[in-house]
Amino acid sequence: MAHKVILIPGDGIGPEITEAAVRVIEAAGVDIEWERHEAGIPSVQKCGLSVSDELLDSIRRNKIALKGPITTLVGKGFKSANVTLRQKLDLYANLRPVKSIGGIRSRYDKVDLVIVRENTEDLYTGIENLITPGVTQAIKIVTERASLRIARWAFEYAKKNGRKKVTLVHKANIMKISDGLFLRIFDEVAREYPEIVAEDMIVDALAMNLVMDPSRFDVLLLGNLFGDIVSDLAAGLVGGLGVVPGANIGEEYAVFEAVHGTAPDIAGKNIANPTALIFSALLMLRHLGEDAAADRIFKSVVVNLAIGKHLTADLGGTCSTSEYTDELIKEIKSRN
C-alpha cells in the first residue's frame, strides 16, 4: 500500500530540490502518494496565514511531511511558517546528523555528530515587545516540561543509536535562571543513563572546540537559538548546507527538512544541491520503515559523490540540480 506523505515544496530553491527528492524516491521504487501544499508567502496571500488550517489538519491526519525551505522575512511580516509548524504540531525534537562524506572537500574527514535542538520554546516563542520607542524586549521561555522531554529524547536517541556521549550546550553563566533550568534538568535526566557520558559546555567554548576538533563531540543537545546557529556552523565542517539533513519530530507527527534555507542567491537557476533534502527524505523513509530503499539511495549518493564527476557548484562541480539527480537515478536503478 502507498504511504501518504504531505509535500510542502516551499519557495526559493525549495521546488527544485523537493522535485529532485521525489524523483529519487520514485526511482528507488517506494510507493508514495504525495499531497502537495503551499506554506509561507503564497499561503498568506491566499488565507492570511503562513500555515493554513487545512495544511495542519492534513499533517495531523497523515502524520508525515517532507518540506522544502520557506522564506521568513527579516524584521517584518508574518510569523515564520517553519516555527509555526514546529509549535502547532509540537515537533519538539529537531534532529540534525552531521557526518563527513567521502568525496566532499571539507576541513575535516571524520566528523560524526548529531545535533538535537529543542524546537518549541526559548527565544523562538516570538514574544517581543516595544516597551517604549528605542527600548525593546524579547522573552526567552524555558520550561521544565520541555527541558525534560528533550533531554530524555536526546539520551534515548543516544542509547538506541549506540552513541557514547551527550553534551548539553548552554549559557547558564549569564542566563542563570532559564539556561540554569535547562542544565539542571539535563543533569537529572543524565543520572537515568549511567552508560552514557554526560557533559555540559558553555556555547562560546563549544563554538571554539567544535571548530578546533569536532571529533571530540558525539550528541550535542541545544536550546532553540543556539541549536539553529550551531547547526549551520557544524554544516560548514562537512561541506556546507547543501549536504546536512534534518527532521522535526514530535510524539505524533514528523516533518522532514534540510537545515538550509531558501538560498535566494541561487534560486530558480537549477544549480542548488539537493543532497541535504534527499538525505532528509532518507530519514523519512527510515521513519516509514523503508530501510532497504533508504540504504540503496544513500549508497548511490555516496558513490556518485566519491566519483566526483557530477557535483553541484557548492561542492566545486559544474552540474545542475537536474543533471545531478539524473546521474543519481541511474546509479539507484543499477542497484534495484
Among 242, 245, 297, 332, binds ligand NAI (CB under 6 A): 242
Distance CA 179, CA 311 (A): 42
Look-up of cell digits 539520551: 155
Minimum distance, C-beta of residue 223 to ligand NAI, in the bound complex (Å): 17
- Is 266 among the residues that bind ligand NAI (CB under 6 A)? yes
- Out of 56, 91, 241, 255, the residue judged to bind ligand NAI by CB under 6 A: 241
Q: Whole-number minimum distance, CB 64 to ligand NAI, in Å?
A: 17
Minimum distance, C-beta of residue 231 to ligand NAI, in the bound complex (Å): 9
Q: Which is nearer to ligand NAI, 78 or 193 (CB)?
A: 78
Which letter does DSSP use for residue 2 in this model?
Answer: P
Q: Are 93 and 116 in contact (CB under 8 A)?
A: yes
- DSSP characters for 107-149? S-S--EEEEEEE-S-BGGG--EEEEETTEEEEPPB--HHHHHH
The three cell numbers locating residue 16: 527544485
120 binds ligand NAI (CB under 6 A): no
Give start and end residues of each alpha helix (H) in the chain: 14-27, 41-47, 53-62, 81-88, 144-160, 178-190, 203-212, 224-237, 275-287, 291-307, 321-335
Q: Per the residue annotation, which of 63, 122, 157, 171 is the catalytic one? A: 171
Nearer to ligand NAI, 111 or 241 (CB): 241
Query: Which residue of the set 31, 57, 187, 204 is catalytic?
Result: 204
Q: Check residue 310 for interaction with ligand NAI (CB under 6 A).
A: no
Pattern 8-37, ligand NAI, x by CB under 6 A: -----x------------------------
Angle (nearest 5°) at CA 189 between 188 and 190 = 90
Interacting residues with ligand NAI (CB under 6 A): 13, 69-72, 82, 241-242, 257, 260-266, 272-273, 276, 314
Question: Which residues belong to the active site?
Answer: 124, 171, 204, 228
